[in-house]
Amino acid sequence: MLESPISFEDFMKVDIRVGRILSVDDFPEARKPAFKLTIDFGQELGTKRSSARITELYAKEELLNKLVIAVVNFPPKQIGPFISEVLVLGVPDEHGRVVLVEPGEGSLVGGRLF
């Protein structure tokens, strides 16, 4: 079931950017398995942190330097002892595991989705 339609202006209020994962740390305090990510969004936004429940399909090593897409203008969210500043985007696979949404070749760090 689809939610009610939004205007294009409403969509443009959501700031979705390309970032590069700089570090990946375990997050043992999380209720559901997650990683703590530090992500570079370029000179304009700098680095931000995020909690991401992507441990089922991704190893820490393969996430380093990976480009991801994230919403960067939600308010920070307290997740246990950690403050998540951005929401990394993913979609579920057939088993409900999170698959990261990845930008295409040539995407610039800090580039905005529109």
Tens of pLDDT, residue by residue over 13-69, are 999 999 999 999 999 999 899 999 999 999 999 999 999 999 999 999 999 999 999
Place of tokens 């939004």: 6
Q: What integer is the mean pLDDT of 84-103? A: 97
Token pair, residue 97, equals 């595991």
Is the predicted pLDDT of residue 2 greater than 80, yes or no?
no
Is the predicted pLDDT of residue 86 greater than 80, yes or no?
yes
The CA distance from 113 to 103, in Å, is 9
pTM: 0.92
Enumerate residues 6+ apart whose C-beta is below 8 A from 104.
none
DSSP string, 26-95: E-TTSSS--EEEEEE-HHHH-EEEEEE--TTT--HHHHTT-EEEEE--SPPEEETTEEE-SEE-EEE-TT
Do the strands 87-88 and 82-84 form a parallel or antiparallel pair, or are they unpaired? unpaired
- Domains in the chain (CATH in brackets) are 8-100 (2.40.50.140)
CA distances from 101 to 64, 70, 91 (A): 15, 9, 7
The CA distance from 30 to 8, in Å, is 35
